Structure 1
């Protein structure tokens, strides 16, 4: 599941608050559609201020002289809907990175001030630090790149940046050109696109990466992103991504950032309530109100007009652009938000009657086990002394699935729970399945071949229906890996209007989705066979 901001807004951490104050003083824009065209100070919306505060969050142990390592986050990602204000906000950050106080300059003891006159700016602005507050200073020689797939895309940031410079005191420090901006001490801000990458590889102090949801291997922008990050690392620089939600079938740079497990990347992605249907006008209005919250320039009626027209031909695109949801294009088996909406927190005590679904691999795909109670709660069970999840990625096991671990996990699950059925897809695991049948009984362990289109189609449809129907009792544990694998699954057409599942791309796994289908099929069959009824207690009759 994509990492998302939890919606809280707390400032109980040290950050360079001098930066947003500096931006309001120095960056000015004309209002859009107003009667007065006088440039006004750029004041951040709440969500923009939240990201900015986290981008410049300082580690409590930071020391004077540190550059990127003084900050809690090495880079940040902002996922927000179309026209919500990402471009002007990113432009203000670039302006600050060019000539503003964005570097850690020690801890204030009381009475210290940031004076613009100390850094060649004649506006007269002064910021007084509170005791214990982190202080800021500009880069000596800032080298910045504004990057996108095309010049039209870079204009989202570059045009408001040009306006901010021309409309205020920044014009004393920054010289605007068509393709670059000159900064003090031979610093510069360059525009880089997929067709003009000659400056890539140069050391840089900051990168603004626009619309990374469409940066892919196919258009060469994945390489651009990694090259820029190497350049940033060499200068202890940092970066900011801003993007719409993405199509998860494309494995974009935005998706990789959202799914990374590293701790020094801040991600903001305001998601709407999962139980709302974007196809319904009333729900769509609620979704727009949630994801555009705080962007006061937005007219929700205008957004509805654009969204409803786009829905006619590109429903997934409309939901991504305006609903801020990660939605796959045509051929998706089950939309991730519909699956995630069934998340529930439940405990499954030892001894509970359950079924298991197993899908195995050898060296490429993943191996996993999903369990389901006969009351409709599905979960990824834990095993072993370390309570590991029953998910085995070969990469984490020296390139090969650990068969002894899997075997031990199966035995433990049969010991801990009352496992009445286990459906196992046997390819690569025929010998192990036979051993499980011998140990636990052929009535309980069954080979279930997912390669059979008639049976697989029916099983896929059964789980799909039970997830999306209004009165469903189906729920699950919110396993993040399973959620991603569900999202990756695509329909592969078969004769007689049937389908089986395939991957959206070779690297996008679906194995835990298959485990979920098998577990649910086993549960449905067990219930149909009457195994959900309470067992009768046995009585002993003594004849005298």
Structure 2
């Protein structure tokens, strides 16, 4: 998973700054609440300008004639809370992609001008480029789609776009219809929904995908997203997602984008400070103030009212919509933000430190992993081998099967490098290997720990849950992203006597590193109870 821009990334790169200036001139809206009746230029908030600059970031080696390949990012995802201004801002990007200077047109020597009149706009506006600045030009035949699950949802973008056209100079270039907008040179902007997909597969130059956090296999929108991207690839076009936070149990298009390892997708997501409780009114106010920062039209009292009402029946939805967090619904074992709040930066575990290990193994489907924990409560994913690979093995990365020799080598290295006092290993698929580790390192140090035992697994899961969430806990961890995702994916599966074991939220959503963390923490608790945290006794021999 690639990190998202949290609003702190530097903006020291070449970009088409002509685009936000063009938008300010051509896209006009009425003030929020109708206090001003005359249309005003659309002035971007800081976060909107940041996302625009990143989306139109030009590669230093870009050449005239390149389309999508001239830009640093092939597509973008913007995650922001409800009513923060995603829809109107996205509408301005659609307008620019339709008739604005969004294609790279070479590097300025200084003094060159972009003239609207050259492209059929009679507003008289021009832009003077500085030396070394990338220049822009419009598409020759723009073909765009605004996409959402329903017509009501597409209105988030389509209605402000229609108003912008009617309120300003865009009316000379764009003719508004109910379901599409006609553009110069037989170009057009179409609306696509889950129930009206007849235009899918058409070549397109730009696609706006709204609320991809609710685009799933179930509503057939995952196929819409992939089909549109194929159409964009054929035209060397680009796309932009905008969404609220999503339910991480649903494997939405937004979630797949956020968790993808590709680096040519720009992601913007300002997560609120970790450790704040959304159920606490004072802390919820701090969360809202953080995630709505820069959206000056927002009244936080109004947001509080909406959030408080939704909290009564749909607390997870309220936190996603207004808190900008990724919170699962019912049955979640441990909320990801609580786990992430225990991240401790810069901890180094020296050689020969007393640790324990938690091992969960698979073969061809689930992942295999090892988590370690020191006896003072610091948990981490160790590394092994000459390349210092993390002890996480996804079968897909190893030709479909977990590399058992790699795992065996990692276990040997960990026992040699650290003072491993206990290793709890879930034995299915790995019975022979666990037996070999017991023979090599001792049965007192390597123990089979079956996770299918409801009583023991419930107690171990509850112990880690408690130590993560209680205020005075000393538990902390290394911030391993894979473990964080697996923690988030874990759900409670009910068992008799009010107990539970863990299950996946969905087949594809792995929880193996969460299990490793539980086993490591259980091993640490048992080792401390057995006295392993005490300094080793020293025995002396005397000679007369």
Name 1:417's counterpart in structure 2.
418
Q: Distance in 2 between matches of 1:539 and 1:21?
A: 81
Contact 1:145–1:208, Cα closer than 8 Å, also in 2: yes
1:422-468 residue CA offsets vs partner (Å, 9 max, x unmatched): 00000111111111000000000000000000000000000000000
SS in 2 for 1:33: helix
Tell me what 2:459 maps to: 458
Mapping of residues 359-508 of structure 1, within 5 Å: 359-508=360-509
Residues 219-269 of structure 1: CA distance to partner in whole angstroms, max 9, x if unpaired?
A: 000000000000000000000000000000000000010011111000000
TM superposition score normalised by structure 1: 0.99
The aligned counterpart of 2:279 is 279
- The aligned residue for residue 161 of structure 2 is 161
SS of the equivalent of 2:33 reads coil
| 1:392-415 CA-partner distances (Å, limit 9, x unpaired) | 111111111111111111111111
Matches within 5 A, 1:32-181: 32-181=32-181
Give SS of 2:171's match: helix
Distance in 2, Cα, partners of 1:190 & 1:443: 68
Q: Secondary structure at the match of 1:208?
A: strand
User: Residue deviations 1:16-38, cap 9 Å, x none?
Assistant: 00000000000001112143211
- For residues 205 and 230 of structure 1, the distance between their equivalents in structure 2, rounded to whole angstroms, comes to 11
Q: Which residue of 1 aligns with 2:189?
A: 189
CA distance in 1, matches of 2:37, 2:31: 6
The superposition leaves residues 490-534 of structure 1 with CA deviations (integer Å, 9 ceiling, x where unpaired) of: 000000000000000000000000000000000000111111111
| Matches of 1:537 and 1:163, distance apart in 2 | 82
Structure 1 residues 271-320: Cα deviation after superposition (integer angstroms, max 9, x where no partner): 00011110100000000000000000000000000001100110000000
1:75·1:238 contact (CA, 8 Å) conserved in 2? yes
Equivalences for residues 233-382 of structure 1 within 5 A:
233-345=233-345, 346-382=347-383
Q: Is the 8 A contact 2:14 2:58 kept in 1?
A: yes
User: Could you tell me how far apart the structure 2 residues matched to 1:534 and 1:305 are?
Assistant: 56
The farther-off stretch of 342-351 and 317-326 is: 342-351
User: SS of the counterpart of 2:241?
Assistant: strand
8 Å Cα contact 2:6-2:271 kept in structure 1 = no
Number of equivalent positions: 543
- Counterpart of 1:212 in structure 2 is 212
Moved more, 8-17 or 379-388: 8-17
2:2, 2:260 within 8 Å by CA — same for their partners in 1?
no
* C-alpha separation in 2, matches of 1:337 and 1:11: 28
Hey, what's the Cα distance between the residues in 1 that align with 2:308 and 2:321? 12
Unaligned runs of 5+ in 1: none
Deviation of residue 9 (structure 1)? 5.1
**Counterparts of 1:516 and 1:46, CA distance in 2:** 40
Q: Give the Cα separation in 2 of the matches to 1:355 and 1:245.
A: 36
CA distance in 2, matches of 1:404, 1:333: 33
Asked if structure 2 preserves the Cα contact closer than 8 Å seen for 1:9 and 1:50, the reply is no
Matched-pair contact (CA < 8 Å) for 2:2–2:262: no
Which whole-Å CA distance do the structure 2 matches of 1:455 and 1:176 have between them? 65
1:539 paired residue number: 540
Distance in 1 between the 2:383 and 2:495 partners? 36
Contact 2:143 2:203 (C-alpha < 8 Å) held by counterparts: yes
Q: 1:159 and 1:7 mapped to 2: Cα distance?
A: 28
Indicate if the aligned counterparts of 1:358 and 1:425 stay in contact, CA closer than 8 A.
yes
Q: TM-score normalized by structure 2? A: 0.99
CA contact (8 A) 1:4 1:271 kept: no
Counterpart CA distance in 2 for 1:247 and 1:383 is: 34
Equivalent pair of 1:360/1:425 in contact (CA under 8 Å): yes
Secondary structure (helix, strand or coil) at the match of 1:245 reads: coil
How large is the RMSD of aligned CA atoms in angstroms?
0.8
CA distance in 2 between partners of 1:258 and 1:469 (Å)? 29
